Each structure stands twice: as structure tokens, then as C-alpha cells.
Amino acid sequence: MNKKHILHLYWRAGFGLLPKQLDDLSSKSREEVVDALFLESAKITPLTINTSSLDSFTKEALDKSRVLRLEYNKLNAGLIKNYSHKWMDRLVNTNETLREKMTLFWANHFSAKNGRINYVKNFNNTLRKHALGDFRKFVKAVSKDAVMIQFLNLNQNNKSKPNENFARELMELFTLGVGHYSETDVKESARAFSGYKNNFEGAFVFSKYQHDKGVKTFLGETGAFEGDQIIDIILKQKQCARFISEKIYGYFVNENINQSHVNLMTEVFYKDYNIENLMRYVFQSDWFYNAENIGVKIKSPIELLVGMCRTIPLRFNKTEELIRIQTILNQRLLYPPDVAGWKGGKNWINTNSILVRVKLPSMILERESFTIQPKGNFTDKFKLVYVKNKYQEKLNVSVDWKTYKQHVKKVTSNELLFSLVLCEINLGTQNYLKSLGNLTKKKNLAKIMSLPEYQMC
């Protein structure tokens, strides 16, 4: 398989490849490379964290004591930060590359957040479990997950006072898209989902006493529907397969949607709603490897960070620093901005973020001090504040230069550059790189990763 095509595949289905990994795969056919990618991700490894510090808290005690609630919330906040760091480490170190990339994708599709670690952990693992599975089971599982129930107010939906938040977003953002349902469909769907609750531990509870058992008419069908039946009716619409295919095309192929390719994807997906079959079709298709699709995607902040960490083994030693960097770059794991998720693409780049993106490699690899601070938190429209000398800091990171040297021991400058930069390099950048000499030297790695071209994949 063509080396550039392999890199393209592994940047879209993962987070890049080292030159040695690229060499090992280049003797294989496209089918063999794609098969290996799926085989490595067949296993499902839940991401866990020790939450025993919360075991002593009961719902009854928390309801009675404000002091206990404050302590409980503080513990949850700390555990969620640690879980976020563990997820970052998983993205960097996993062999289940495609499953983790798909988990990241679905986290921005079924966009939701919560303040309880056990809910967050379960939701994250629901995304991971179904990431390459049956989309029908996936949507049903999400509808019964405590994070989604809380985030879109399903717990407030009952027969006497229906709450339409989840019913609306289920169609608008998760399955059909704007314009493919009526306001009546929203109201009737909300009635069908009435009675969806979760208990204190996060398990799904269906309250038959709060469920509207009456007849509903939804997308042209009539019956005493419950939530699962609403989802079944939605998936009968070919528009659902098209909507998901477009979303996947925009993320994994190209923001500029090619409708003829999406039409082909839709036919594949509509047959059985099997996510793995759809992704196999995409990665096996000739058009996926067309020149107009290679090196044209702006890396998300997480893709940028994980790609760096995979090239040169490194780890953020302080969770707060990792979270601060994610916040400044505008993609904090576990905290999407709203139910629509991150917009991505050109929205990743603005005057502030591009400065940080270009500066980040030297901050990490050369321990350069930085003066950029976020003002506000994930719920605010924070600003970046440039502060004076006394606030200058250096990131606390562990960089494994010994392993990096082993990785590039027999690698030429051209081979390293080829593995790191997929898009075309302009003449000015080419002349600049020539002036650096041997690009594999560690002093030059930060310079390569600071190139505008490195922002693309």
C-alpha cells in the first residue's frame, strides 16, 4: 500500500504513525492494512478509575446536608479531572486505535456532560462499547444513559408535563438533522420518552406511572409507542443513514461533502446500521485516498496533542496543566461546549489558538516558559490573557528522548518529515527546513511541529 495513503488512513482513523510503523505496513495491501486496523480494535477495554472515595455518600445524606454535598461535588470534580487525564493517556498509548478515535468522534456527536464521575465514566464507556457496533443499539443505550437523561432533562419528562429537550435533539442532532421532522413529531416523541429516569447510582429506571401510555402519531406511524419504538421508527428513515454518513464523511474524509460518495455510504449503512461495515467501506474506497482528501483537515486540539505524544513519548505530569492547555486550545475532554458539540474545522483556529498551537511544541519539548493563561472556565467564553514575567511558567512534562532516539536511529530527515507532515510544504518552509540540517535531531523536532503544515492531517 502507498505510504502516503497509509499515513492518511492512520491520521484519520488514529493519530499518525512512526516511520518504522509506516515501513512495516508498506509491504501490505490496502485490505490487509485496513483489516489489521479493525482487528486491533475488536477488543473493548473499558476506561476505569477508582471511585471508592465516594462510597460512603448516600442520596439521603446528601439531600439533608449542604456541607456533605459540597464535599461530594469537590471529590467528583477532582475524579473527573483525573479521568480526563486517563482518557488522554489511553488515546496516546492504546493499541485499539480506531475504537478510541471513534469514541472521540461519538463523544462529539452524542454531546453531553455531567458532574458525577460514575455517570461520566459509564457514559464514556457506553460510547467506547458501541463505537464500532450496531447504531440502533447505540442510540437506545444513549437514551437510557444517566448523563444524557440528566443533560437533556429526560428525568423531568412525565405524562402530565412532557419535556421536549431530548426528543428534539434526538432528531435534530443525533439522527435526522434539521428539517426532517415536524413540531408534532417532537411533541409525540417526548410523550413516548416520558418516564425515563436514573437512580442515584446512574442505572436506568423506567417509571411506568410517569409514562404516557396513550396513542402517539410519529413520522407517519401510530401506536402506543415507548422510547425504543420511536428510535426504531427514526431508523426506518433513510435520512438517518444519510445524516450519520454525512457526519462521518465530514470528520473522517473531508469537510467539503461529496454527495455522490455520501450516497454510496448511505446505501451501505442503511442495510443494517452496522458502524464497522460503514467504516470499512470508507477506508477501502478509492475515493477516500483521493489527493483532495489528504492533508486538508485541521487537527483538533486533542489530535494535535495526541499526535505529538505518540511521536515522542511524553506525559503531562500535572493534570491541571493538561486541562489548562486543552481549555486554551478550546477542546477540553469531557466538557463539550453544548449539545451540538465542537464545530471543528476552521473553528479550531483563531488569533489566540494558532499562537498557542505554534508555541506548544517548544513549550513541551524545549521547556520554554509561557505567559498564556485562560480567564474563566469551561462554562464561560474565556479570554486568553498575556501576563508579565512573574507569572511565566514551564510545563511539567516528562519527555522520553531515549525512546525517541531509538525510533529515529535509522530514519532520514526526509522520512521523518514525510511521517509528520501530510500536506504540501510551500517553498519558504522547504528552505527553512534545509537550514536546520538533520531534522531527526531533537532540537529540530519542536521546529517541525511548529510549522503551519503540521496543523494539518
Domain that holds residue 408: 301-455
Cα→Cα distances 60→63, 118, 195, Å = 5, 18, 22
Residue 370 pLDDT: 61
Which of residues 272, 293, 314 is at a domain's end?
A: 293
Q: What percent of the chain has pLDDT over 70?
A: 95
The confidence band for 371, taking pLDDT boundaries of 50, 70 and 90, is low
The confidence band for 391, taking pLDDT boundaries of 50, 70 and 90, is very low
14 contacts 101 by C-beta, under 8 angstroms: yes
- Answer whether residue 93 is part of any domain: no
194 vs 114: CA distance, rounded Å: 21
The set of cell numbers assigned to 441 is: 535531531
The set of cell numbers assigned to 349 is: 483556529
Distance in angstroms between the alpha carbons of the first and the last residue of the chain: 18
- Answer whether residue 94 is part of any domain: no
- Answer whether residue 386 is part of any domain: yes
- Answer whether residue 129 is part of any domain: no
- Whether residue 447 sits in one domain with residue 332: yes
- Whether residue 378 sits in one domain with residue 251: no
- Whether residue 331 sits in one domain with residue 272: no
321 vs 394: CA distance, rounded Å: 10
Residue 386 pLDDT: 43
* Interval 223-241: pLDDT, tens: 999 999 999 999 999 999 9
Residue 351 pLDDT: 78
The set of cell numbers assigned to 42 is: 475488536
331 alpha-carbon distance from chain centroid: 9
Residue 383: is its pLDDT beyond 60?
no
| 171: DSSP letter | I
How many domains would you assign to the chain? 2
- Answer whether residue 170 is part of any domain: no
Q: Which amino acid is at 66?
A: R
- Whether residue 354 sits in one domain with residue 273: no
Note the maximum CA span of the chain. Answer: 75
300 contacts 331 by C-beta, under 8 angstroms: yes
- Whether residue 395 sits in one domain with residue 283: no
- Whether residue 256 sits in one domain with residue 340: no
Mean pLDDT of 351-371: 82
The confidence band for 382, taking pLDDT boundaries of 50, 70 and 90, is very low
Residue 368 pLDDT: 75
- Answer whether residue 120 is part of any domain: no
- Whether residue 278 sits in one domain with residue 255: yes
* DSSP, residue by residue, 342-359: ---GGGG--HHHHHHHHH
- Whether residue 408 sits in one domain with residue 355: yes
What predicted TM-score, i.e. pTM, was given to this entire model?
0.94
457 vs 455: CA distance, rounded Å: 7
The confidence band for 372, taking pLDDT boundaries of 50, 70 and 90, is low
Sign of the CA dihedral with 400 first, then 403, 409, and 413 last:
negative
- Whether residue 447 sits in one domain with residue 316: yes
Residue 419: is its pLDDT beyond 80?
yes
Angle at 175 between CA 216 and CA 148, to 5 degrees: 85
- Whether residue 382 sits in one domain with residue 289: no
Which of residues 226, 259, 293 is at a domain's end?
A: 293
- Whether residue 282 sits in one domain with residue 365: no
- Whether residue 350 sits in one domain with residue 377: yes
211 vs 3: CA distance, rounded Å: 56
Residue 378: is its pLDDT beyond 50?
no
- Answer whether residue 81 is part of any domain: no
Q: What percent of the chain has pLDDT over 90?
A: 89
Least confident piece of the model among 213-217, 285-289, 312-316, 391-395: 391-395
* Interval 34-78: pLDDT, tens: 999 999 999 999 999 999 999 999 999 999 999 999 999 999 999
User: Which residues does residue 372 pair with via DSSP β-bridges, in sequence order?
Assistant: 386
* Whole-number average pLDDT of the chain: 93
* Cβ count near 33 (within 10 Å): 19
Q: Which amino acid is at 327?
A: T
User: Which residues does residue 385 pair with via DSSP β-bridges, in sequence order?
Assistant: 373
- Answer whether residue 128 is part of any domain: no
